[in-house]
Structure 1
């Protein structure tokens, strides 16, 4: 048996191990693929101290020099796309093509962050634009780093959603404590390695690993943390809000993104986008389409097209580039099965039957879903799609807005004016017209309202979120 590799944490420029380790198993076949460190509170204190000590010097590094480090990191990451992509695929059961694509996309994100960081600047404001008595006042408004940024990433995009926190924080002059997901930690530590090799000074980026139940609250409440950037479940996000106190936060949480299909829609296109949006990475995405709200006149036809397209999805091994792959854990699969059983028991019509083998669940579509079913409201994070029939667009809007979530929605119609009118009424952060819900492009603003998040991401917006304004007023 091949020796299981142990991955250490980067603390103050050195790769260090802890007394205890956590074994990482692949969701594909439960094979051991590596060990990461189970850090103690004392070790976290050491990482925080290293970050604080590095903060003053890093913030004084000219932004063009910070950008050079990011450019180098992007170059190194792209060179290792196949190696890191393969580990990512094994660690989180993402198909290999998508895993490699995530690495390449992340390299592009880091490059763009370097470019955008140079363009993010302050302003000068004259007082006499407000009142005559202030005509001799001049405000110089500049952006300064927050300080120590705690970046907490999720399992589903352990490279991209880590770099989307780390790179904007660094270009803004912050230092970073990076907590990768436990399942996804190896990928996150390889990303950390890339940033270190790109020339980051010691202490500017420090990684911390361990079970969230052991170190999570300690990290969040740590007095040395100045800003928290988290992607994950709404449950954990709400806890961060409670535990963090007055610390500023940026949260990307859950969603129940709806695809609203009107009777004049191109149903073939709508179905293609819905299937891609609902079942990419087995539905384990906050922006996955998680319910279809379709006008009754075209519901039968849409269901028929969806059935055929879902039946054509490949199911199996990520290294065979299957479209539907094992879920991240048996616990995740159990939850999806609960939602399926509840829907079937309450009368939902099974269009595509989602059989299960371990944590691998075949894609399922359910028609005639009613509002008393859990699947109409809860986020499955798995390959299941409910169809809810509505009499008109107003009912669709009403159902969409009753959700506790408010991340994204999609509208399918040939009437652009009508789509814009509906978009104006939807309580979500982003509306897509005739396209699936999705995170990118990475330079667009990305946000959720209600229980879907706090604050705005997207490269420029993330930089602005992780910097603060300081105004110096001069009397001239």
Structure 2
């Protein structure tokens, strides 16, 4: 299978193609374009030319196109999920869940296209404002450069493309190099749904070329990026006056208070730690358990972890499959070796089985270790004992990241204390930090990024507020 660039409503043959291999089997599954500077310029130029038409498209037409994409994706969900399993090694049952969420994301975008409101301003509230009428409108920002990661190749694309189209913008989408097939599939659906040419353009290739071109080009008004803090900070430093939304790294933590019912939460905690091989921005990486229930929690967590099935992502009963690249396995094993040398204990996993990193539980890991303080992005969870909620909150906050955190507690005062004191973008009470539904505001503090996603909130990022004042006298 060979895919082409999608530029100005046309499927354009590229000058260069590269092999795309399955992370699980290492078989070649497609040949995909690697765009050069000229091809990227053509995509940006197409989006720039289409910007005026996109801004003038009535809201109901934008909504209708987004609804049609949601409907077509739902009709072809099995095909779409298989694409994810092939190119990202995401287990099929988890991939199907991503497609269901993606359908909802485009539906939310369709709804928000009709709800982009301004407001009236009471000008006579200030001396000299008498006899004037004022109101605000929200205008599309223009060309948006969207750079997306591999771990949710359909839904994280939807979180950028959906609100961009809803707000009347045009997009140049640069998907992750390992997961371009999902992006091209969505481009086909938008083409079928009647999206005018130039509004969505999809280019693939290395970030050092495609990403840098989007950041540097003056015709691009905004960059929305999901990926590593290192790249995100470089984008922000180079973007000048462009608007920038960054969803970056995390090492999300959960606090487990004394007195909670472990058996009611343990399956959810295991899912939060190991879903999609831990390759989730809000994957549960650190758990701080009150000393009174620590031993029981670890025992039940390990018992549930050992029941997970490793294997081919295309098998319907597989829970955990291969990481996105072999080098990631090597990195994680190095981090685990460091932890063991510093006194941590591997209670489960910690080895490679048929190319798959087994779900790994680490106990008694110090806060300065890489597995504790950096984003591991792998099926590894650290469980530590604490003597108080105060200690747990302090440990959670002792991080360069701050995306989401969770706490299980039966005490309302403890819950409110955590909500107030945890230095994160979102606090999940009696749930894991991995919880997300697609219309909620989503984003972090510190090195977890700037700005918010969640369709309504992304639309706000992707529009400019304009004031109109009329003197009636």
TM-score, scaled to structure 1: 0.97
SS in 2 for 1:326: coil
Partner residue, 2:24: 28
- Please report how far the alpha carbon of residue 357 of structure 1 lies from its aligned counterpart in structure 2 after TM superposition: 3.6
8 Å contact from structure 2 (residues 62, 113) kept in 1: no
- Please report how far the alpha carbon of residue 359 of structure 1 lies from its aligned counterpart in structure 2 after TM superposition: 4.4
Partner residue, 2:127: 132
- Segments of 5+ residues of structure 2 without an aligned counterpart are none
Partner residue, 1:265: 260
Partner residue, 1:75: 71
Partner residue, 2:183: 188
Which of these residues, 53, 70, 75, is aligned with residue 49 of structure 2?
53
CA RMSD, Structure 1 to Structure 2 (Å):
1.3
How many corresponding residue pairs?
Answer: 471
Equivalent positions of 1:208-247 (< 5 A) are 208-247=203-242
Which of these residues, 375, 378, 382, is aligned with residue 378 of structure 2?
382
- Please report how far the alpha carbon of residue 353 of structure 1 lies from its aligned counterpart in structure 2 after TM superposition: 2.7
Partner residue, 2:401: 405
Partner residue, 1:308: 303
8 Å contact from structure 2 (residues 104, 438) kept in 1: no
Partner residue, 2:411: 415
8 Å contact from structure 2 (residues 101, 438) kept in 1: no
Q: 1:169 and 2:164 equivalent?
A: yes
SS in 2 for 1:226: strand
Which of these residues, 343, 346, 350, is aligned with residue 342 of structure 2?
346
- Please report how far the alpha carbon of residue 136 of structure 1 lies from its aligned counterpart in structure 2 after TM superposition: 2.6
- Please report how far the alpha carbon of residue 104 of structure 1 lies from its aligned counterpart in structure 2 after TM superposition: 2.5
In the alignment, the residues of structure 1 paired with residue 267 and residue 207 of structure 2 have an alpha-carbon distance, to the nearest angstrom, of: 38
In the alignment, the residues of structure 2 paired with residue 439 and residue 298 of structure 1 have an alpha-carbon distance, to the nearest angstrom, of: 23
Equivalent positions of 1:422-461 (< 5 A) are 422-438=418-434, 440-461=436-457
8 Å contact from structure 1 (residues 261, 270) kept in 2: no
8 Å contact from structure 1 (residues 175, 204) kept in 2: yes
In the alignment, the residues of structure 2 paired with residue 229 and residue 286 of structure 1 have an alpha-carbon distance, to the nearest angstrom, of: 16
SS in 2 for 1:437: coil
8 Å contact from structure 2 (residues 140, 168) kept in 1: yes
- Please report how far the alpha carbon of residue 192 of structure 1 lies from its aligned counterpart in structure 2 after TM superposition: 1.1
In the alignment, the residues of structure 2 paired with residue 79 and residue 406 of structure 1 have an alpha-carbon distance, to the nearest angstrom, of: 37
8 Å contact from structure 1 (residues 366, 387) kept in 2: yes
In the alignment, the residues of structure 2 paired with residue 454 and residue 91 of structure 1 have an alpha-carbon distance, to the nearest angstrom, of: 29
8 Å contact from structure 1 (residues 266, 412) kept in 2: no
- Please report how far the alpha carbon of residue 439 of structure 1 lies from its aligned counterpart in structure 2 after TM superposition: 5.0
Partner residue, 1:373: 369
Q: 1:91 and 2:54 equivalent?
A: no
In the alignment, the residues of structure 2 paired with residue 414 and residue 454 of structure 1 have an alpha-carbon distance, to the nearest angstrom, of: 32
Structure 1 439/231 Cα, relative in aligned 2: closer, same or farther at 3 Å? farther
